A = this chain, B = another copy of it.
Amino acid sequence: MQEVLCFSASEQARDEVGQGVKQHYGMMHYHMGWANANLQPQTMPSGKRLRPIFCLLACEAVGGNPGDALPAAAAIEILHNFSLVHDDIEDGDETRHHRTTVWKLWGVPLAINSGDAMFALAFAALSRLQRRGISPNQILQAIDIFTKTCIELTEGQHLDMRFEQRNDVQPDDYFHMIKGKTASLLGCATAIGALVGHGSSAQVKAMQHFGQSVGLAFQIQDDILGIWGDPDVTGKPTGNDVLRQKKSLPLLHALNHQRIGPKLTTLLAGGISENQLPRVLELLAEAQSREVAQEQQLFHKAAAMKALEESLGKDAQESALAALADSLTNRKA
């Protein structure tokens, strides 16, 4: 997978590269985990490449040749990484995958611009579907799905940033936010995979719904682990998201709980220290916020399996997509 992405994007870079823009492309390679901070080629820690894997598996599942989906898989991974470069600036995060972030190394102005280039290169990668014998109409459909996803990504990020300043966030706002930040791109990956694999339009639609639902279940699982995950497994302290007052689903549920909400709001006002953590966890238990989040998680997991069955029929249960979705939504870290 990595070779493919590496080949695809660096070939693109070679096409475009002039003497003066080596650093511009080098920064992207650094972010992707293909170069060190001196821009020397080196394999570094990077993401799990989950989204392109979903794309290739969706293509294969509907009977297509996964090789045909490679340009789309690369486009999706590059788009995801563009959004990480900008998110890191917007959130002020100084490390990712235990490495210094791009903006922290080269400054905000060059980092914004490097992210912009990755955005454009994602479209360039997608356009290479033209070399795979996919019809122009199908490619335009893929571009439309991809473009809509880009817009939804920015909406999700906007909501996420605004949540930090707002005290009136409702669970509905939360779902709008994670739909944009997590579900949309996973749904895009499976939909375009199915499209390029010549699935029927009903299959493509169901496959998009599958990806989106996996994304929602994945994110809610993340929220549960962020509060109740085993520190030995997650590598993060107990109640990490509570200490950061992250507006994740369990906390939002408790804050909007008629009886518990006002108590919790008072407790959280003006920050929270580790010795207040047990009291917050008590309130979350009283509000049954963990159970509510788990219910939601199971709901979206079930929706994902239902959509996968709509798309693949009786093969769904045995498919690699089902196994991957299952492992992601049952994970402990």
* Interface contact A143-B159, CB-CB below 8 Å: no
A161 closest partner in B (C-beta): B109
* Interface contact B112-A86, CB-CB below 8 Å: yes
A86's contact among B116, B158, B176, by CB below 8 Å, is which?
B116
* Interface contact B124-A147, CB-CB below 8 Å: yes
Which B residues lie within 8 Å of A8 (CB)? none
How many copies altogether? 2
How many angstroms between the C-alpha atoms of A147 and B122 in the bound complex? 9
Chain B CB count within 10 A is highest, among A18, A110, A151, for: A151
Interface size class of A (residues with CB under 8 A): 35 or more
Which B residues lie within 8 Å of A176 (CB)? 18, 20
Which stretch (A134-142, A210-218, A229-237, A284-292) binds chain B? A134-142
* Interface contact A18-B155, CB-CB below 8 Å: yes
Tell me, yes or no, whether A173 is within 8 Å of chain B by CB: yes
- Secondary structure dominating the interface of A: helix
* Interface contact B158-A110, CB-CB below 8 Å: yes
Chain A 16-29 near chain B by CB (<8 Å), digits 1 or 0: 10101101100000
CB distance from A89 to the nearest CB of B (A): 6
Chain A 120-138 near chain B by CB (<8 Å), digits 1 or 0: 1101100100100001110
* Interface contact A155-B21, CB-CB below 8 Å: yes
Tell me, yes or no, whether A100 is within 8 Å of chain B by CB: no
* Interface contact B109-A123, CB-CB below 8 Å: no
A18 closest partner in B (C-beta): B176
Which B residues lie within 8 Å of A162 (CB)? 20, 23, 110
A137 closest partner in B (C-beta): B136
* Interface contact A116-B154, CB-CB below 8 Å: yes
Tell me, yes or no, whether A104 is within 8 Å of chain B by CB: no
Tell me, yes or no, whether A303 is within 8 Å of chain B by CB: no
A140's contact among B23, B90, B109, B127, by CB below 8 Å, is which?
B127
Tell me, yes or no, whether A117 is within 8 Å of chain B by CB: yes
* Interface contact B123-A147, CB-CB below 8 Å: yes
What 10 pairs between A and B have smallest CB-CB spacing? A120-B150, A136-B136, A90-B109, A117-B154, A24-B158, A123-B147, A120-B151, A21-B155, A116-B154, A113-B157
9 further A-B contacts with Cβ under 8 Å, apart from A23-B158, A90-B110, A119-B119, are A20-B158, A90-B109, A110-B162, A112-B112, A114-B154, A116-B150, A117-B155, A123-B123, A127-B143
Taking Cβ atoms with an 8 Å cutoff, the residues of A that contact B are: 16, 18, 20-21, 23-24, 86, 89-91, 108-110, 112-114, 116-117, 119-121, 123-124, 127, 130, 135-137, 139-140, 143-144, 147-148, 150-155, 157-159, 161-162, 173, 176-177
